[in-house]
Amino acid sequence: MTIKTPDWVKEAVFYQIFPDRFAKGTNNNSRQKFNPKLEPWEAKPTLQGYKGGDLWGVIDRLDYLQDLGITALYFTPIFQSASNHRYHTHDYYTIDPMLGGNEAFEALRKATRDRDIKIVLDGVFNHASRGFFFFNDILEHGPHSPWLDWFKVEGWPLSAYDGSLPANYKSWINNRALPQFNHDNPDVREYIMQIGEYWVKQGIDGWRLDVPSEVETPGFWQEFRDRVKAINPEAYIVGEIWVDARKWLDGTQFDGVMNYLFAVPTIAFTAGDRVDKSLINNPEYYPAPAIDAAEYGNKIQELFTLYDWEIHLAQLNLLDSHDTARLLSIVGGDIDSLKLATLLLFTFPGAPCIFYGAEIGLSGGIDPDNRWGFPEEKDWHQELLQFHKELIALRHQYPALQTGAYEAIHTKNMVYGFKRTLGESELFIFVNAGKESSIANLEFTQTEYTVIYGTAEIVVEANQTLTINVPPQQGCIFT
């Protein structure tokens, strides 16, 4: 079959927002009515505390995001929930009042549409929460509840809170706060399908699907795709799959996945032995041991063999997220390592995604330390912000960096070089992850080259050799 993915994704630059930590709006009437007790914005984040960020705050920061060059926003969950991360869904049709409610979302959708910024929401459809009406009815009425078959009840009595007793129902990774849906129940299936349709009708541009591999009901994600795409053929469906995702990327389910298979070798190559292994708590995101350019090239080539090229162009590429420690901390605060990884991110096929605050030097360890409040401007790493702006501008300026063919042309020692080609446009990208300057020699195809980013000395020799001298821990782009 011919695989088709949304065209806008191939040109997009995403920004991942954790709403409670990005920005507080000035007109969140819902929060003012509740007057909740909030943690200080600048205080160390905790597992259960709220800081009070909301969607009005996102609207206030759209000028900043547009100036950065962002064209799409991926939000971690925004539906009503009793958790700061909102993966414990109470109501799939209600935007959390602490985030400003449905009124704030409608205002956000209008403001982003006016700026041609897309919105992708987090769909948590594997599990709900103890506060979800249908499960709460079971807690209230036991075996008399009409919603028993919506979940996987295994015995009585249910123990939703007392960890000393068996929960007696299936939950995600045995977390009794997250009862797992019975997706084989046609009513559950239809309920989730209608949620997917509803928010696309409300104007969202796609769904990021949380732990979709846990949903094993045959045909479930195929139907989800068909029904969402029937409303908007250009809606983006991206799954949270950390490993080989061929099972879901056959053209009948997801358009792409969160591309951790790109992140891991990229960090291992650019950061090497600077990676702080104590901040890695997931074997599927383990950028160690250090690798050289040849091994990096092999891993990237292996990645390219997994999927159709159309899928690669719609992958959600990232370096860190709300589920990992922040990259700046992982690399031990080494800005050069972070910049090299980011350079590779913005020159790779697929849509690059920035975890909020990475562009201004926000650091943090394992959850919840990776979820600090977005700092005041006086605490921004301005040089790093400018670096991100320049790379994003280049990606927008040169379509070859978006959809051009990818070919590795130099993989020696710690220098990795490749080119992106689209029609007559040809861009060369070289990265030296080593501690010493390094010279790469290539056969040249033209007599003059122009460096458009970075620091490198490029000499066209008389014997048809192109010499590229790249300083240590630096990268360059030239045409």
CATH code of the domain covering residue 342: 3.20.20.80
Verify that 280 and 419 share a domain, yes or no.
no
Specify whether 349 is located in the same domain as 458. Answer: no
Compute the distance between CA of residue 449 and CA of residue 328 in angstroms, rounded to an integer: 33
Q: What is the pLDDT of residue 463?
A: 64
323 and 462 in a common domain = no
In a domain, 137, yes or no: no
What is the DSSP code (8-state) at residue 14? E
Could you read off the pLDDT tens digit of each residue along the chain, which spans 479 residues?
899 999 999 999 999 999 999 999 987 666 666 778 999 999 999 999 999 999 999 999 999 999 999 999 999 999 999 999 999 999 999 999 999 999 999 999 999 999 999 999 999 999 999 999 999 999 999 999 999 999 999 999 999 999 999 999 999 999 999 999 999 999 999 999 999 999 999 999 999 999 999 999 999 999 999 999 999 999 999 999 999 999 999 999 999 999 999 999 999 999 999 999 999 999 999 999 999 999 999 999 999 999 999 999 999 999 999 999 999 999 999 999 999 999 999 999 999 999 999 999 999 999 999 999 999 999 999 999 999 999 999 999 999 999 999 999 999 999 999 999 999 999 999 999 999 998 888 877 777 889 999 988 888 876 678 889 999 999 999 99
Q: Quick one: pLDDT at residue 26? A: 83
Structurally, the chain folds into a number of domains equal to 2
Omega before 349 cis (within 30°)? no
Taking alpha carbons only, the member of 10, 112, 12, 18 closest to residue 358 is 18
Residue 100 backbone class (left: φ over 0; alpha: ψ -120 to 50; beta: rest): left
CA 305 to chain centre: 22
Q: Where are the alpha helices (DSSP H) in 202-308?
A: 220-231, 260-271, 293-306
Domain match, 107 and 23 both: yes
- Same domain flag for 421 and 441: yes
What tokens does 55 get? Answer: 């969607």
Flag whether 2 is in a domain. no
Question: CA 363 to CA 447: how far, in whole Å?
Answer: 44
| Residue where a domain stops, chosen among 365, 381, 397 | 397
Same domain, 368 and 410: no
- Cα 418 from Cα 420, distance rounded (Å): 7
CATH code where residue 453 lies: 2.60.40.1180
Indicate whether 434 belongs to any domain.
yes
Judge if 244 and 353 occupy the same domain: yes
Show which of 397, 427, 448 is a domain's final residue. 397
Question: Please, what's the b/e burial string for 144-154 (b: 16 or more CB within 10 A of its CB; e: otherwise)?
Answer: ebebbebbbbe
Q: Residue 432's closest CA among 418, 420, 416?
A: 416
Do 14 and 63 fall into the same domain?
A: yes
The verdict on 317 and 242 lying in the same domain is yes
Give the residue ranges of DSSP H helices in 244-332.
260-271, 293-306, 309-312, 327-330
Interhelix angle 186-201/220-231, rounded to 10 degrees, is: 30
The confidence score (pLDDT) of residue 461 equals 76
What whole-number distance in Å separates Cα of residue 192 and Cα of residue 213? 16
In a domain, 161, yes or no: no
Residue 461 located in a structural domain: yes
Provide the pLDDT for residue 458.
85
Report the alpha-carbon distance of residue 417 to residue 244 in Å, rounded: 25
CB of 324 closer than 8 Å to CB of 267: no
Q: How far apart are CA 434 and CA 436, in angstroms?
A: 6
Domain region containing 430: 405-478
80/97 Cα distance (integer angstroms): 7
Q: Residue 185: exposed, middle, or buried by beta-carbon count in 10 A (0-12, 13-18, 19+)?
A: middle
Model-level pTM greater than 0.95? yes
Residue 133: inside a domain: no
Strand partners, 467: 441, 459
Torsion sign (Cα): 429, 433, 434, 436 = positive
How many angstroms separate the CA atoms of 192 and 273, rounded? 45
| Helix (H/G/I), strand (E/B), else coil: 341 | helix
Which of 365, 397, 429 terminates a domain? The answer is 397
Residue 1 belongs to a domain: no
Give the residue numbers annotated as catalytic, written as ranges.
210, 240
Contact 287, 268 (CB under 8 A): yes
Same domain, 62 and 88: yes
Q: How far is the C-alpha of 99 from the C-alpha of 23, rounded, in Å?
A: 10
Same structural domain, 214 and 101: yes
pLDDT attached to residue 367: 96
Same domain, 429 and 459: yes
Is 148 part of a structural domain of the chain? no
285: nearest Cα among 301, 305, 265: 265
